[in-house]
Chain A
Amino acid sequence: MNDRLIPPAAEARTSPSASASACGTSIPHESARAQVQGLAPYVDDLPEPRGTLHAAPVMSPVAHGRLNGVDASAALAMPGVRAVVLAADIPGDPVLASFSHDEPVLAQGTVQFAGQVVALVVADSVMAARHAARAVKLDITPLPALLTIEDAMAANSFVLPPVTVARGDAAAALAAAPHRLKGHFAVGGQEHFYLEGQIALAVPQEQGQWRVVSSTQHPGEVQHWVAHALGIANHAVVVECRRMGGGFGGKETQAGHLAVWAALAAHKVGAPVKLRLDRDDDFMITGKRHPFAYDYEVGFDDSGRIQGLTIDMMANCGWSADLSGPVADRAVFHVDNAYFLQDVVIRSHRCRTHTQSHTAYRGFGGPQGVIAIETLLGDIARALGKDALAVRTANLYGPRGATERNVTPYQMQVEDNILHELLPKLELLAHYQRRLEGVLAWNRQHKHIKRGLAITPVKFGISFTATLFNQAGALVHVYTDGSVQVNHGGTEMGQGLNTKVAQVVADELGVPLARVLVTASATDKVPNASATAASSGTDLNGKAAQAAARTVRGQLADFVAALDGCAPEAVRFADGQITSPQAVRDFTAVVQQAYAARIQLWSDGFYRTPKIHYDKVTLTGRPFFYFAYGAACSEVAIDTRTGEYRVLGVDILHDVGRSINPAIDIGQIEGGFVQGMGWLTTEELVWTDKGLLATKAPSTYKIPTAADVPARLNVHLWPEENREDTVFRSKAVGEPPFMLAISVWEALREAIAAARADRGLAGAAAAAVQMDAPATAERVLWAVNAP
């Protein structure tokens, strides 16, 4: 058990007294007490409006084909069935209002992947709808399908044009480099596997208005998409989300599809309609993390420092663009990870295949960029017979204050690189050198079980790369009993956003946290809010809520200053009291007096991220406000007879700036790490040669269990605040730790290399560990046995 655990006796830690400041404290998640009692409702738990009907999707069983017709007569004759909804029933635009405007809401004319929704059945109960959905007959003439990246590249099939970021002269640098490696590898996609499946409830209101309750990371987009499909104005649609049972990017655009379908069904039958996907259907319909493939050539010197690099990154985007453009962009922005690349060409190809349309997923292309360079550095170190950590360190961006090796390929200055300090600290915390010797000794003594140890760093850019999304709004209401309600444009998916925002507002107003309540995200409270994504939830919404609270505080300070004849700046807010040089007053008493004096006790707040800019044409600028850093050290052991392996121990040192809530931040770090470990180990998506997803249920798609997590999982927080002016000087934490799991991948490749060396393979042959991700036991065995 971990020694940083809060001892059971120390209850004060979790129920802070009024004198404590809320920020910086490990306060439990605002819904934890309700959640453990099953009393925190998710969309499917809410009381259903009178007359609610239920929908189920009718999906294409064919990856690509001509849709000749739909015969719903058998379904319509089944008991309890009310309607079947087709593309022709869409009152507004039959094409979804997505960025690229390239997805029909319901298939029409053709089907583009196995799982594409062609129709919806509406019935009295969920089960009746699902039974009837299977009775709908689709007349489809199959057409040739492109299922893989290779298929798409060969057919020049792309959802978006390619993007190239280049600097210097990579060809010349490669030609001049003393050593070169050239190769190809691939990493798989990943199913989000949020525990709460996709769901939406659409409720018709008076005069053509709508209320949609959606499990969504982006209520504003749901509102826009629903209005667009219904052919009405945005102001007629209100979308609400109190909480999600997990999101991870999977409820960014994908939730919009569900809500649009529910609304269309409700529009057709004139009654509320709930659409809750069965887990298997959720797997079949919704997009996943983009699978990637890479072709690369890297040149390096005797120290392992990279001289030149060309890399082609091919993303499997699925059948439509969705968010593939920005995802592939972020992969480009992170193929450097923490390393300076002087002469480099990065080409990004956005492949169109007849599979699910891949979408946002924690890291948003970043992991697919980072793993490429980390894989190359592992290979470089082994090719030279050098310690991989030394090679990684030799390639880092310059340290803080450096004037060289500090500009990214997209021309952003790396001003705050702490990895030159962080990596040595982790090396000590993890006893890397001593354990490395132990691992080498073990590998000399043991033939069948080989160990591997690896440290990998992460540097992750924080901000939406589309600059316009870096804005947020919030409302702070103070009621006359001194209680405070906060609303902001972010959404709560478990990450603790509402808890952190409440902490920020409580401290701004100097009131106990218990006085502050954060309410459901709703488009009629804060409009045009960005998705809660890109790790930005707290940075954006925390700042907006802080701004709103400061406005209210300012009003109260002015009021008290006028009473006491002092300067407003002299009025302090703390411990539930408002203190001027003349008097100490209870917060609530001041609020009541201010109300009587007709002072505004509520305010909005707005925030836009400063300093960022990005030129989409030249692909240069400062897309990120700052970087978050971290590093992990993982040890694994593999069985060379079966390829089975265990992760034995993990040490993490991660930079969250000044933590608003250490327990929540550690939760994000551990959860992100384990999810990343799943991506690279057991979570394998397999499509059949007909394009059907074969791993479409938890019986065949295996996310980590508690037993996959090593008992030794030590997380340390880097003890410095953010040098940029963020809320409480904290740093974003949602995505960066995901990439710490690449240390597991690299440790596995080290262990495989040790096994290969035992086979008598030497030099380049032993160093080359040819393996695609995820590293299933089968792939590990093949990598051990490869020629």
Chain B
Amino acid sequence: MPTSESSPDALRLIRRGRVVTCHGVAPDRTLLQLLREDLHCTAVKEGCASGDCGACTVTVAERTPEGALRYRAVNSCIRLAHSVDGQAVWTAEDIAAADGTLHPAQRALVECHGSQCGFCTPGFVMSLFTLHRQRGGDAVTRDEALHALSGNLCRCTGYRPILDAAQTMHHWPEPFLDEADLLQKMELLAQSAQAPAADLAKNFYLQPNTLAELLALRAALPAALLAAGTTDVGLWITKQLQQRPQIIDVTRVAELRQLQRTASALVIGAAVTLNDAFAALAAERPALAPFFDRFAGLPVRESGTLGGNVANGSPIGDSMPLLIALGATLRLASTRGERTLPIEDFYLAYRKTALAPDEVLVAITVPHPAPGEWLRVDKVSKRFEDDISAVCLAVALQVQDGRIASARIGAGGVAAVPARATKTEAVFAGQPCAEATFEQAAQSLMAEFQPLSDMRASADYRRTLLGNLLRRAWQDAAEPGAPALAELEPQS
């Protein structure tokens, strides 16, 4: 256990039903480092240290406001250790019964020959364990298994036996897990949480609970790192080797965790996880669900927040083109007051946003679908699942009586920032909803951006996609029931 001067407050987590207290854990220490190096739990494997392979997957459970346990599979390699303070954590070492009886997720993997080299296996086990807990031990379909395993890579098996294991694990009894006791322990930990004793001039990991606390801290500590799910920030630490001894974690701020439906819009708190935000958005616009399933892997969506994705400002972040097309606005706050910005105005230049040093993103407001909304979002990447877009294109048209009243288009991967295609929007405006309009818009969109060539795609390909994605959108709309690649079956 490191006992450096970089010791913030004690970290308490629940493992195997017991409270484990760790002292002297540096603010930028990852959960994987805590587990492997401090707690000597080598069941957790580091495969990539970037949240891309899933070998490090562990299960984290927190107590919901309703008093239930919410289980999530997360990438421990990029999750900060202090973020799980007061929560329960399971690794592949922790889920067999005391008498050695394997958990159904483990047993199914053995029986189905789902483990070859075994290095990715503990991560798969924990994704399956999480699924099993979430589903209350019910049977799962192949598609549900794919969804749950979207963040786990295996290089040996070809996955078939692992998917078989997912679909057979419900056959076996699960060792007893005392949820009531866990909830009670979490409650006690929450009550006994103390105000931070850390020296605010040096090192700290702060977890404010209210927006007022957060804004006050932000104003006092503008140099501190604001962190949420750390699915990108984690890589600054593991890959860029940044040392971040001053961290303000926004994920416990009640106001930022809220998801509200107002009369006109869905208001998504900045600390709502990607998964929850996407579920709320897909409830209003079901056609978006497959697009959301292609955003990273499930563990990243379970940790990462929509606010984090927006505030991070990556030109290839996949949520921004959609939010631009939907006309989302951002609520920013500081102790000086609040302001609201259209999302596209938030991005100033490559990785540069309009957020002031003392300011915090509070919420993303997404208007409800209006009658006549015609929405299409496409992502093209080398791999279907868990990949970053070569191009991401979101088009929202307001169609009335066969005419396009207005258009909003968001594009990713084609400029230094997530961009709104205003010129092409103008091409659509007032035109009939017809092939010729889409063809004109396609030509316009290809000319509107000057994308770069990189390892994901060439500039030519990106430009061609901008045109062809619009053309495809028209073709699919004009021919309902046109075959979609994702839904094809082999010839019988």
A, B in one complex: yes
Residues of the A chain whose Cβ atoms lie less than 8 Å from the Cβ of B162: 706
In-complex Cβ contact of B50 among A671, A697, A706 (8 A): A697
CA distance A434 to B93 in the complex (A): 50
A39 at interface by CB-CB < 8 Å: yes
Chain A residue nearest in CB terms to B93:
A38
Residues of the A chain whose Cβ atoms lie less than 8 Å from the Cβ of B91: 38
- Interface set, chain B 193-248, CB cutoff 8 A to A: 239, 241
Give 23 pairs: A residue, B residue, CB < 8 Å, sorted on A.
Answer: A2-B160, A6-B111, A8-B168, A26-B113, A29-B113, A31-B118, A34-B118, A35-B118, A35-B121, A36-B115, A36-B122, A36-B125, A38-B91, A645-B485, A646-B384, A671-B155, A672-B158, A699-B388, A704-B159, A709-B159, A776-B382, A777-B380, A777-B382
Chain A residue nearest in CB terms to B43:
A38
Name the residue in B41, B154, B472 with the highest tally of chain A Cβ atoms < 10 Å from its Cβ.
B154
- Interface set, chain A 648-678, CB cutoff 8 A to B: 648-649, 663-664, 666-667, 670-675
As a 0/1 sequence over residues 254 to 266 of chain B, the CB contacts with chain A under 8 angstroms (1 = contact) are: 0000000000000
Residues of the B chain whose Cβ atoms lie less than 8 Å from the Cβ of A670: 157-158, 160-161
- Interface set, chain A 431-448, CB cutoff 8 A to B: 431, 434-435, 438-439, 442, 446, 448
B359 at interface by CB-CB < 8 Å: no
Residues of the A chain whose Cβ atoms lie less than 8 Å from the Cβ of B386: 705
Interface residues on A, range: 35 or more
As a 0/1 sequence over residues 75 to 112 of chain B, the CB contacts with chain A under 8 angstroms (1 = contact) are: 00000000000000001110010000010011111111
A44 at interface by CB-CB < 8 Å: yes
- Interface set, chain B 381-395, CB cutoff 8 A to A: 382-388, 390
Of A368-376, A489-497, A718-726, the one with at least 4 CB within 8 A of chain B: A489-497
In-complex Cβ contact of B110 among A28, A434, A672 (8 A): A28
Question: A245 touching B172 by the CB < 8 A rule?
Answer: no
Say yes or no: A698-B53 contact (C-beta < 8 A), given A39-B43, A196-B119: yes
Question: B96 touching A37 by the CB < 8 A rule?
Answer: yes
Question: B383 touching A5 by the CB < 8 A rule?
Answer: no
Question: A667 touching B156 by the CB < 8 A rule?
Answer: yes
Residues of the A chain whose Cβ atoms lie less than 8 Å from the Cβ of B486: 646
CA distance A446 to B484 in the complex (A): 11
Q: Contact residues of A with B, CB < 8 Å?
A: 1-2, 5-6, 8-9, 11, 14, 26, 28-29, 31-42, 44-45, 127, 130-131, 134, 192-197, 243-248, 278-280, 431, 434-435, 438-439, 442, 446, 448-449, 451, 453, 493-496, 635, 637, 639, 641-642, 644-646, 648-649, 663-664, 666-667, 670-675, 682, 684, 686, 694-695, 697-700, 702-713, 776-778, 781-782
B117 at interface by CB-CB < 8 Å: yes
Q: How far is the CB of A249 from chain B (nearest CB, A)?
A: 12
Question: A664 touching B113 by the CB < 8 A rule?
Answer: yes
Question: B465 touching A642 by the CB < 8 A rule?
Answer: yes
Residues of the A chain whose Cβ atoms lie less than 8 Å from the Cβ of B384: 644, 646, 705, 707-708
B120 at interface by CB-CB < 8 Å: yes
B319 at interface by CB-CB < 8 Å: no
Residues of the A chain whose Cβ atoms lie less than 8 Å from the Cβ of B455: 684, 686, 694-695, 700
Question: B150 touching A699 by the CB < 8 A rule?
Answer: no
Q: How far is the CB of A130 from chain B (nearest CB, A)?
A: 6
CA distance A683 to B46 in the complex (A): 21
Chain B residue nearest in CB terms to A38:
B43
Question: B168 touching A448 by the CB < 8 A rule?
Answer: no
CA distance A781 to B225 in the complex (A): 43
Name the residue in A243, A694, A777 with the highest tally of chain B Cβ atoms < 10 Å from its Cβ.
A777
Residues of the B chain whose Cβ atoms lie less than 8 Å from the Cβ of A675: 155, 158
B52 at interface by CB-CB < 8 Å: yes
Question: A29 touching B116 by the CB < 8 A rule?
Answer: yes
Q: How far is the CB of A66 from chain B (nearest CB, A)?
A: 28
CA distance A689 to B346 in the complex (A): 34
Residues of the A chain whose Cβ atoms lie less than 8 Å from the Cβ of B471: 641
Interface secondary structure of B, over-half rule: loop
Of B322-330, B427-435, B456-464, the one with at least 4 CB within 8 A of chain A: B456-464
In-complex Cβ contact of B47 among A279, A431, A666, A667 (8 A): A279
CA distance A671 to B488 in the complex (A): 23
CA distance A670 to B156 in the complex (A): 9
B31 at interface by CB-CB < 8 Å: no
Q: How far is the CB of B3 from chain A (nearest CB, A)?
A: 14
Residues of the B chain whose Cβ atoms lie less than 8 Å from the Cβ of A442: 491
A36-B92, A697-B50, A706-B152 provided; 20 other pairs, C-beta below 8 A?
A: A2-B164, A5-B164, A6-B112, A14-B110, A38-B43, A42-B119, A44-B42, A245-B117, A279-B50, A435-B492, A637-B483, A639-B485, A646-B486, A649-B489, A684-B382, A703-B153, A706-B385, A708-B385, A713-B160, A778-B457
B401 at interface by CB-CB < 8 Å: no
Residues of the B chain whose Cβ atoms lie less than 8 Å from the Cβ of A706: 145-146, 149-150, 152, 154, 159, 162-163, 385
Question: B49 touching A5 by the CB < 8 A rule?
Answer: no
CA distance A1 to B383 in the complex (A): 23
Q: How far is the CB of B314 from chain A (nearest CB, A)?
A: 12
Number of interface residues of B (CB under 8 A): 91
B334 at interface by CB-CB < 8 Å: no
Q: How far is the CB of A772 from chain B (nearest CB, A)?
A: 13
Residues of the A chain whose Cβ atoms lie less than 8 Å from the Cβ of B110: 14, 28, 32-33, 36
Question: B44 touching A38 by the CB < 8 A rule?
Answer: yes
Q: How far is the CB of A779 from chain B (nearest CB, A)?
A: 9
Residues of the A chain whose Cβ atoms lie less than 8 Å from the Cβ of B388: 699-700
CA distance A639 to B486 in the complex (A): 10
In-complex Cβ contact of B380 among A26, A439, A642 (8 A): A642
Chain B residue nearest in CB terms to A33:
B110
Residues of the B chain whose Cβ atoms lie less than 8 Å from the Cβ of A704: 159, 383
Question: A700 touching B157 by the CB < 8 A rule?
Answer: no
Residues of the B chain whose Cβ atoms lie less than 8 Å from the Cβ of A664: 113
Residues of the A chain whose Cβ atoms lie less than 8 Å from the Cβ of B480: none
Say yes or no: A699-B52 contact (C-beta < 8 A), given A244-B117, A706-B163: yes
Name the residue in B52, B105, B160 with the highest tally of chain A Cβ atoms < 10 Å from its Cβ.
B160
Question: A494 touching B159 by the CB < 8 A rule?
Answer: no
Name the residue in A11, A639, A706 with the highest tally of chain B Cβ atoms < 10 Å from its Cβ.
A706
As a 0/1 sequence over residues 143 to 187 of chain B, the CB contacts with chain A under 8 angstroms (1 = contact) are: 001100110111111111111100110011000000000000000
Chain B residue nearest in CB terms to A709:
B159
B422 at interface by CB-CB < 8 Å: no
In-complex Cβ contact of A131 among B108, B241, B483 (8 A): B241
Q: How far is the CB of A787 from chain B (nearest CB, A)?
A: 15
Question: A494 touching B488 by the CB < 8 A rule?
Answer: no
Say yes or no: A32-B118 contact (C-beta < 8 A), given A37-B93, A671-B158: yes
B468 at interface by CB-CB < 8 Å: yes
A-B pairs, 9 with minimum CB distance: A38-B43, A494-B117, A245-B119, A649-B490, A35-B118, A670-B158, A674-B158, A438-B491, A494-B116
Say yes or no: A195-B469 contact (C-beta < 8 A), given A36-B122, A243-B118: no
Question: A40 touching B118 by the CB < 8 A rule?
Answer: yes
Residues of the B chain whose Cβ atoms lie less than 8 Å from the Cβ of A493: 117
As a 0/1 sequence over residues 30 to 56 of chain B, the CB contacts with chain A under 8 angstroms (1 = contact) are: 000000000001111111111011010
